[in-house]
Amino acid sequence: MIKPMSQIYLFTSLVAYFSMEVGLDPAIPTYSGGLGVLAGDTLRAAADLSIPMVGVTLLHRKGYFRQHLDAQGNQTESPAVWSPEEFLEPLPPWVSITINGRKVSIRAWRYMLHGLSGHIVPVYFLDTALDENNQWDRTLTDCLYGGDELYRLCQEAVLGLGGIAMLRALGHRRVQAYHMNEGHSALLALALLSERTQGGSLQATTSADIEAIRHRCIFTTHTPVPAGHDIFPLEMAQQVLGEEVIRFLQRINCCSNDTLNMTYLALFFSRYINGVSMRHEEVSRSMFPNYPINSITNGVHATTWTSMPFCRLYDHYISEWRHDNLYLRYAISIPLEKIREAHAEAKQELLAEVDRRSGVRLNPSVMTLGFARRATAYKRSDLLFSNLDRLKTIAQQIGPLQIIYGGKAHPHDEGGKALIRRIFEAANALRGIVPVVYLEEYDMALARLMCAGVDLWVNTPKRPQEASGTSGMKAALNGVPSFSILDGWWIEGHVEGVTGWSIGEDWGLESNPSKDYVFLYNKLEHIIIPMFYGRHKAFTEVMRSTIAINASFFNAQRMVLQYLENAYLTSANHNHPDNHPESP
């Protein structure tokens, strides 16, 4: 699958990858969850594959936020202030954009991402905290997903318009593909357009101009619910971007019901559009029936997410795995006891961290379930606790269980915060029978420990809202099987009893909350726990085939090569639906 180098070098210019959040390092808190971690994994894989890519994001000086949980599970937040100086290099050029009728200056900080064979992918973090900006404009690159709508729209202007200006100032003039990771950066298309028309009136743009921009833009959508898409009141958009821009956006149908829809803007200007799993492609097509939506299923960066014990194991048995993740297929011949040993070590590391953080000593021989991701309603982190009596009975009669949780709720997500409290309540009710620990501050470092150290990775999203999900892929790299609702990537990765287990059987329909938890308990009771305690060899075989079947495929190397083949290197899509005669 690895492309011959010649084909990669044919690729004379760059891919510019735009993302509002990027997870590069646990010490750089400029990501909130899956979207940012995916961006980091994409850039890391591009560096490994020597693909000439650059990343563009915002500096987020106050990070996402630090999470504090009290004894009842009430979440409070404080800024996750960090020092860009420690990790990034400030670059000399300053550029400016006009928003809200005034000039905002922007500079960039550079992070150098080194690939396996030394190729470097620079990532530019845009920063408006400059003396010449007014007080408010200086804060625009402070908080990821903080502030109100106006703040957010201005941030998106900095990312899209400022990002293009900065690339030019840094000498990246001939970029072949602009990849928008979610619609937050969609305004970049307007910057490209005004560059092409040399600042001339937008009203005078021709369909050839638009086609030329489309030729360069790629859009990955991540949100399977209409409410998740970024929209702004038209009046506000007019204030921020100016009247002429809004008239133009209306003309190309990117505004509806007095709002500017960033997804429509990205769809309009992209020649290649994709969802992040096959199921998500389907769901996105039904939301945007006029567009040719493809899918490239997400993947995770193998060496980032593989624990040390498994790295050593793979280095020993399949040493090629680092430069070509397909070799993980051959994990199928690793001796079972070696898998067991590596997992026991990863589990020990996790339990030591649980003890260090919470003072709770979990038992290494007890089956340990893990659940960690953003705490938000559709993820249903409390589904496991739908019937506490049943759960207690299972733990007492079939085999003991312990559960480790993690995940932050967005500061304004009251539903997400309530979920965390409910888990604390359940933990109290289960005390003495099923130990439940909720760890604060779920981040990349904790994800790495948790996905590797538990015995079963649980995911219970409400269908069809999980666009892909990636933490189960991290678990697979460490031989940890998933137990999940059939949605997102798991529809593709699930082979019953071979790579893990499904919660429920069908995947086409919407979730039925009153059934899902019954499926969950039934399978735990009758299949999974009995296998874990009674059939060690069979359980370890599941662990091993999880690696061979899923880690060899759901990795970022395969994902980036698919982007290369299907999106970056292909030519324009001349069948774009907005490319009809009456189009401007």
Residues of this chain that interact with ligand PLP (CB under 6 A) are 33-34, 37, 373, 442-444, 447, 469-471, 474
* Least spacing, CB of residue 222 vs ligand PLP, in Å: 10
Length of the chain: 584
Residue number, 50 or 304, with CB nearest to ligand PLP? 304
Task: Tell me which residue has tokens 């898409």.
Answer: 229
Sequence letter at residue 337: E
Between 37 and 265, name the residue whose CB sits nearer to ligand PLP. 37
In order of 39, 44, 415, 524, the CA distances from 111 in angstroms are 14, 12, 36, 45
When the beta carbons of 154 and 444 are compared against ligand PLP, the nearer one is 444
The phi-psi region of residue 70 (left if phi > 0; otherwise alpha if psi is between -120 and 50; otherwise beta) is: beta
Are 183 and 266 contacting, i.e. CB atoms less than 8 angstroms apart? yes
Please give the backbone phi and psi of residue 174, each rounded to the nearest 5 degrees, phi first.
Answer: -110, 80
Q: Considering only CA atoms, which of 265, 262, 156, 167 is closest in space to residue 210?
A: 265
CB of 380 to ligand PLP, least distance (A): 12
| Concatenated DSSP letters of 447-487 | HHHHHHHSSEEEE-PPTT--S---HHHHHHHTT--EEEES-
Of 373 and 417, the one with the shorter C-beta distance to ligand PLP is: 373
Which CB sits closer to ligand PLP, 209 or 487?
487
Identity of the residue, 382 or 443, whose beta carbon is nearer to ligand PLP in the bound complex: 443
Residue 64 or residue 517: which is nearer to ligand PLP going by CB? 64
Nearer to ligand PLP, 166 or 449 (CB): 449
> Cβ of residue 38: shortest distance to ligand PLP, in angstroms?
8
Residue 290 vs residues 99, 207, 392: alpha-carbon distances, Å: 32, 18, 50
Are the C-beta atoms of 401 and 369 separated by less than 8 Å?
A: yes
Q: Shortest gap between Cβ of 224 and ligand PLP (angstroms)?
A: 13
DSSP 548-562: IIIITTSBHHHHHHH
Q: In this structure, what are the phi and psi dihedrals at residue 500, rounded to the nearest 5 degrees? A: 140, -155
Q: φ, ψ for residue 18 (rounded to 5)?
A: -105, 130
CB contact at 8 A, 74 and 414: no
* Closest separation in Å from C-beta 298 to ligand PLP: 8
Shortest separation between residue 109's beta carbon and ligand PLP, angstroms: 22
Closer to ligand PLP by Cβ: residue 104 or 144: 144
* Tokens matching residue 132: 């010449």
The distance of closest approach from Cβ of residue 21 to ligand PLP in the complex, given in angstroms and rounded to an integer, is 10
Nearer to ligand PLP, 50 or 471 (CB): 471
Give the DSSP per-residue string, 397-427: HT--EEEEEE-PPPTT-HHHHHHHHHHHHHH
User: Residue 75 pairs with which residues in a beta bridge?
Assistant: 69
Structure tokens at 23: 């997870």
Please report how close the Cβ of residue 137 comes to ligand PLP at its closest, in angstroms.
30
Q: Cβ closer to ligand PLP: 283 or 430?
A: 283
C-beta closer to ligand PLP: residue 33 or 52: 33
Torsion, Cα 281 283 285 289, to 10 degrees, reads 180
Residue 176, H or E segment: strand 175-181
* Residue pointed to by tokens 């069979």: 538
Please name every residue paired with 503 in a beta bridge, in sequence order, or none if there are none. 485
Least spacing, CB of residue 438 vs ligand PLP, in Å: 15
Least separation in angstroms between residue 114's CB and ligand PLP is 21
Nearest to 269 by CA among 289, 249, 283, 286: 249
**Quick one: DSSP state of residue 229?**
S
Residue 387's contacts (CB-CB under 8 Å, 6 or more residues apart) are 517, 521
- Compare residues 469 and 500 and give the one whose CB is closer to ligand PLP: 469
Instruction: Name beta bridge partners: 439.
Output: 406
- Least CB distance from residue 446 to ligand PLP, whole Å? 7
**Looking at beta carbons only, is 37 or 164 nearer to ligand PLP?**
37
**DSSP-derived 3-state class of residue 16:** strand
Nearer to ligand PLP by Cβ, of 67 and 386: the residue is 67
Q: Which two tokens stand for residue 485?
A: 């609702």
- Min dist CB 463 to ligand PLP, Å, is 15
Least distance CB 444 / ligand PLP (angstroms): 5
93: cis peptide before it, omega within 30°?
no
Q: How far is the CB of 70 from ligand PLP (least distance, A)?
A: 22
The answer for residues whose C-beta is within 8 angstroms of residue 97's C-beta and 6 or more apart is 103, 104, 106, 157, 158, 161, 162, 165
- CB 87, min distance to ligand PLP, A: 18
Q: What is the DSSP letter of 525?
A: I
